[in-house]
Amino acid sequence: MKRTPMEPMKFVSMAALWPENSTTSLPSQSPVSAEWEIMHTVIPPYIFILCLLGLLFNSFVLGVFIVHKDQLTVAEIYLSNLALADFILLCGLPFWAMYILNNFNWPYGDTLCKLVNSIIIIINFYTSIYTLVMISVDRYLALVKTMKARWLRRTLYAKVTCFILWILGLLLSMPTIVHRKVKFIMEYKTMSCILDYSHSWKLAHQILMNVMGFALPVLVIVFSSANIIKALAQRKESVGFHDTNDKKATVLVYAVTLVFLLCWGPFQVFTFLDTLCDVQALDETLWSHTLDVGGQVSVYLAFLNSALNPLLYVFSGQYFRKKVCAIYRRTTRHRRGSDMTIYQRSVVSTYINRVEQIKTVVIPNVKD
């Protein structure tokens, strides 16, 4: 689908974002719509707030895991990898906000154009999604295949898997890394960071995004979640009463799947519709404006998932809360110990000073 560079460029667009290439335009006299003006005003503050909260949440999670790094379970290793991926991804978003505020001129050079938009954001996009997949798989092994898959749930295997996920993210990001560049757009006289590739590369990239970045992960997550819920229901019937822990696990499984679909689903739908327009399965004229605006809104909704992940996957876990409480008790105990030491030193010092103030009294021997 050939996009209007005013819309894709003006807004980090799907050009500045993932797949689009904007080199053609509608007539130059076409005005910028009210939707784009609103988005231009709203998106930068939204990005800064999202980054602030997301970085705060994920850094807190990473800090707790670092303190307990020698006692992490398999699930917690995946959670820490997820927090790291989300943290790094969020670090790249402020560049987009400044890019918009700078009237879509990219002042940071070609290297940062590739680094921020390809290496930081795209690699962490894939790594974050597949870490969510591994969390669901691990939960499936723990609750459904409890005895048969015990040997698979080892911390060493989890660490190796996390490393493989980063390599996978790098490989899936190679098309973006190669084609992302700073280019002068003559019509709007801007030096913009865009994806500059052919129509066939664009189709391949969008299909890759839809299949590897959404369809396959969703299938695995839905499969794992469905079997977990089924196993918990069977456990409830066999035991004869409803376990509170089972209820919490069921709610968490639903929440994980639902939030993932709500955050990433709209962006993937718009990407798929854009692909249909490219192959002329949909009327480009009718869908152009909807896909331009919808693509922008949906992608920033997708990044909200990076700020919500700590709340869903970590803060709702009872073992994580125990780790936080342990750190709090340790800190409180240390503080009380320090206060007691100061008090004891004060008492000893006061006693010594009083002893030094006592003068020797000589009583004369009175003879009768």
Q: What is the residue-wise DSSP string for 319-349?
A: HHHHHHHHHHHHHHHHHHHHHHHHHHHHHHH
Is residue 342 included in any domain, yes or no?
no
Residue 348 lies in a domain: no
Predicted confidence (pLDDT) per residue in 49-66, tens digit: 999 999 999 999 899 888
Q: Which residues make Cβ contacts (< 8 Å) with residue 342, sequence separation at least 6?
A: none
Number of domains in the chain: 1
Query: Is 233 inside a domain boundary?
Result: yes
What's the rounded mean pLDDT across residues 353-364? 52
- Per residue in 281-318, pLDDT (tens digit) is 888 888 888 888 888 888 888 889 888 888 876 666 66
Residue 45: strand, helix, or coil: helix
Between 24 and 204, residue with greater pLDDT: 204
- pLDDT for 327 beyond 70: yes
pLDDT in tens, 4-13: 333 333 333 4
**Which residues have C-beta within 8 Å of that of residue 9, sequence separation ≥ 6?**
15, 16, 22, 104, 185, 188, 190, 192, 194
The phi, psi pair for 15, rounded to 5°, reads -70, -50
Percent of the chain with pLDDT over 70: 75
Q: Would residue 324 count as lying in a domain?
A: yes
pLDDT tens digit sequence for 119-145? 788 888 899 889 989 988 988 888 888
Is residue 59 within 8 Å of residue 33, measured between CB atoms? no
Q: What is the pLDDT of residues 12-32, one digit of tens each?
A: 343 333 333 333 333 333 445
Within-domain flag for 203: yes
pLDDT category at 270 given cuts 50, 70, 90 is very high
- Which among 30-39, 167-176, 305-314 has the top mean pLDDT? 167-176
Whether 343 maps to a domain, the answer reads no
* pLDDT, tens digit (0-9, with 9 covering 90-100), for 230-244: 888 887 777 655 556
Sorting pLDDT into bands at 50, 70 and 90, what band is 247? low
User: What pLDDT does 225 receive?
Assistant: 86
Residues 89-108: tens digit of each pLDDT:
899 899 988 988 888 889 99
In terms of residue numbers, what domain contains 210?
Answer: 6-333
Mean pLDDT over each residue of the chain, to the nearest integer? 78
pLDDT at 220: 93
Residue 178 has pLDDT above 90, yes or no: no
Is 368 a member of any domain?
no
**Secondary element (H or E) of residue 350:** helix 318-357
| Residue 341 belongs to a domain | no
CATH of the domain at 279: 1.20.1070.10
Compute CA distances 13 → 114, 294, 363, whole Å: 16, 10, 99
